[in-house]
Amino acid sequence: MSTTTQPENSVRAEFLRGIWESLPFLLVVAPFGLLFGVVATEAGLNLVETMAMTFLVIAGAAQFTAIALMEENAPTVIVVLTALAVNLRMALYSASMAPHLGKAPIWQRALVAYMLVDQSYAASAARYEEAPTLSTTEKASYFFGFVTLIIPIWYASTYLGAVAGAAIPPEYALDFAVPITFIALVAPLLRSLPHLVAAVTSVVLTLALLWVPFSLGLIIAACVAMPAGALTEYWLEKRK
């Protein structure tokens, strides 16, 4: 550990920044958790089962997918594999976090992995790109700050949804809170040409591949969009 107080201050500052920057996302996570609690209860899960799923999986989209397939009496293997395919993007997130947090202690990396959801991933990736000189400890601290409120609120809102049980009126259009967050996370990145190329590739290919089963179209599209962005960046650099 360092003898000066400076690094500790900056670690603390990153933690607080993480909490601060997570605040707008609470608006989205809470209704999404509430909705999952309601949907799971209506599908016949009891409180313990609903909460166990939320604690162990923490991945809204995959949880909704699994519940929907179980309601259709799909075989267990199909339920698990389809929901995991929905979560395949998490492996990409993990790879993307590895250069930044790979040197953190193993227990910290395990905790980060457990809480690596779309929002915490995208916010941290943006922060690390904005401040590349941050140390591993500072980067980890930002991540932990960001999830400090998000994750407990995800648990709590699921619980409320499961207990309150009443369906949320569809005119609140809560279904659309999540797409808006994803757009808000990515839009600020789109002002560089390589990022724009990657984003357009991702959209066009995903839409063209909607027929591919198990949501694998998204993964294929992402695996093309990444090199599309990286190569555009490479060519732009070479032209200079």
Partner 1 sequence: MSLSPDLWIVIALLGLGTFSLRFSFLGLVGDREIPSWALRLLRYVPVAVMPGLVAPLVLFPAATGGEPDAARLGAAFAALIIGALSRNTLGSIVAGLATLYLLLWLL
79 binds partner 1 (CB under 8 A): yes
In angstroms, what CA-CA distances link 88 with 69, 115, 117? 18, 15, 12
Q: Nearest 5°: phi and psi at 169?
A: -55, 135
Distance of CA 75 to the CA centre of its chain: 27
Nearer to partner 1, 6 or 76 (CB): 76
Question: By C-alpha distance, which of 220, 230, 203, 181 is closest to 88?
Answer: 220
By CB under 8 A, name the one of 11, 29, 30, 66 that touches partner 1.
Answer: 66
118 binds partner 1 (CB under 8 A): yes
Neighbours of 227 (CB within 10 A): 12
By CB under 8 A, name the one of 13, 19, 80, 168 that touches partner 1.
Answer: 80
For residues 38 and 166, the answer to whether their CB atoms sit within 8 Å is yes
By CB under 8 A, name the one of 155, 156, 212, 233 that touches partner 1.
Answer: 233
Nearer to partner 1, 15 or 143 (CB): 143
By CB under 8 A, name the one of 6, 171, 211, 239 that touches partner 1.
Answer: 171
Interface of this chain with partner 1, residues 131 to 150, rule: CB under 8 A: none
Helix pair angle (106-114, 89-101), 10° resolution: 150
173 binds partner 1 (CB under 8 A): yes
Shortest distance, position 13 Cβ to partner 1, whole Å: 19
For residues 108 and 69, the answer to whether their CB atoms sit within 8 Å is no
181 binds partner 1 (CB under 8 A): yes
Distance of CA 93 to the CA centre of its chain: 8
156 binds partner 1 (CB under 8 A): no
236 binds partner 1 (CB under 8 A): no
Residue span binding partner 1 (CB under 8 A) among the ranges 11-19, 98-106, 144-152, 155-163: 98-106
Q: Residues for the chain: how many in total?
A: 240
For residues 30 and 153, the answer to whether their CB atoms sit within 8 Å is yes
By CB under 8 A, name the one of 13, 149, 160, 200 that touches partner 1.
Answer: 200
Nearer to partner 1, 13 or 185 (CB): 185
